[in-house]
Amino acid sequence: MSTLSERILGAPAGSFVDRAVNRAFVHDGTGVLTLEAWRRMERERLACPERLSMLFDHITPANNSTTAALQAELRTFAAEQGLHFSDIGGGICHQLMSEGIVCPGEVVVGADSHSCTLGAFGAFATGVGATDMAAIWASGSTWFRVPETIAIHLEGQLRGAAEAKDIALDYVRRLGMDGGTYQALEFLGEGAGSLSMENRLTITNMAVETGAKTGLFYADAVTAYYLGEYGIRTLPQAVGEGRYARELTLDLDDLVPIIAAPHRVDKGAPVTEFEGVEIDQVFVGTCTNGRYEDLARFAGIVAGKKVAVRTIVVPASRSVLLKAAETGVLSTLIEAGCTVGPPGCGPCLGAHMGVLGEGEVGLSTANRNFRNRMGVGAEYYLCSPSTAAASALRGAIASPEGLA
């Protein structure tokens, strides 16, 4: 048997293959250089506009006139070429791709490093840069080196306050920031089957933080039910015994809430080790943890109370925001004193809407805490929505045990 990546790409690990892509997307950041490279290639029409998307999420709405002008150019191009376009407020590219577009078995390429997120559907999904994407615009295909695979067996069930983000922070700390370089991660075992689609997206999102090309879950009944809500019928993917470069087992029964300390994503340790560290700001959102379940969990903990530090909540997409409005989660957040931003990446990449100042300490549900990324001279800790909620109430890092 083969690994899922080998099956989807149709060749054994180590081979170089050229493959047509089922879906390719850019955002307002990477779209700029993609368009520039595309123009230098002197093509008139996109090879396959029906398979291409342009989704504005990184600096939305535009923070200044330079950004606005760059976005206007992309907007015009999208209208001329007739590709799938989502303007400001639509949401994060990976989230929109997960809302009834990407299907199991597909080859998906995004001009963003967290494109590995879509592997949660049993698709081969990975990130590329702008010039690679321009060549995909021109030809509809690209080259891949079929990756070796690291199997991550998820045993048992999540208990207590631990959640999907803690699984992600746990495997990143075990593998390290280059432990998955050039390889794919496959999530297997009964624990994998027990996770919701939203949970799976949180877990595959962070595969790139180990250097991995993608992270995959096998499509199963959970996948079929989720996509069924969008009117898409899918079949489960048979789990076989692939040849794995390395195997790792995480026991979910014993997992506790984890925090990654500044300035490395693999610097994870139990939240209790950081208990009491004072924080200036909490940020809940991003392609890691900006989904409805995340907001609802956060709201469940802060409901009827007031946050003790400034707290920014950014829904991952318009549908997430709408659902939060319909179910009352949104009013709970507002009543608790949270500031709710428009759907998109928010302050994650350090461009706007909540960037920290020199010497400030932030707690974030994002996926990267690199030095200076979310504010020059600031420190950022990464955690789950539940840990963010417990800490927001206290004004210092706090364990969500007993609250979630």
**Helix/strand/coil (H/E/C) assignment for every residue in 247-309:** EEEEEHHHCCCEEECCCCCCCEEEHHHHCCCECCEEEECHHHHCCHHHHHHHHHHHCCCCCCC
Q: How far is the CB of 280 from other proteins (least distance, A)?
A: 20
Closer to other proteins by Cβ: residue 177 or 303: 177
Closer to other proteins by Cβ: residue 127 or 191: 127
Q: How far is the CB of 135 from other proteins (least distance, A)?
A: 6
Closer to other proteins by Cβ: residue 54 or 397: 54
Q: How far is the CB of 122 from other proteins (least distance, A)?
A: 21
Q: How far is the CB of 92 from other proteins (least distance, A)?
A: 14
Instruction: Give just the sign of the alpha carbon dihedral 367, 372, 376, 380.
Output: positive
Closer to other proteins by Cβ: residue 62 or 224: 62
Residues that bind other proteins (CB under 8 A): 16, 29-30, 32-33, 36-37, 40-42, 59, 64, 66-67, 70, 111-113, 115, 127-132, 134-135, 138, 143, 177-178, 181-182, 211, 213, 264, 349-351, 368, 370-373, 376
Closer to other proteins by Cβ: residue 60 or 391: 60
Burial class (CB in 10 A: 0-12, 13-18, 19+), 224: middle
Closer to other proteins by Cβ: residue 138 or 224: 138
Q: Are 118 and 208 in contact (CB under 8 A)?
A: no
Sorted by sequence, the CB contacts under 8 Å of residue 154 that are 6+ apart come out as: 167, 187, 188, 189, 190, 191, 192, 195, 250, 252
Q: How far is the CB of 70 from other proteins (least distance, A)?
A: 6
3 state DSSP class of 228: helix
Separation of alpha carbons 107 and 257, rounded Å = 33
Q: How far is the CB of 272 from other proteins (least distance, A)?
A: 27
The strand pair at 214-217 and 141-145 is best described as unpaired
Closest CA to 193 of 128, 129, 261, 122: 122
Q: How far is the CB of 175 from other proteins (least distance, A)?
A: 12
Closer to other proteins by Cβ: residue 89 or 129: 129
Q: Are 347 and 231 in contact (CB under 8 A)?
A: no
Q: How far is the CB of 94 from other proteins (least distance, A)?
A: 12
Q: Are 293 and 97 in contact (CB under 8 A)?
A: no
Separation of alpha carbons 89 and 87, rounded Å = 6
Q: How far is the CB of 34 from other proteins (least distance, A)?
A: 9
Closest CA to 318 of 115, 96, 72: 96
Q: What distance, in Å, lies between the first and last C-alpha atoms of the chain?
A: 41
Closer to other proteins by Cβ: residue 54 or 295: 54
Closer to other proteins by Cβ: residue 182 or 230: 182
Quote the tokens at residue 142: 């690209």
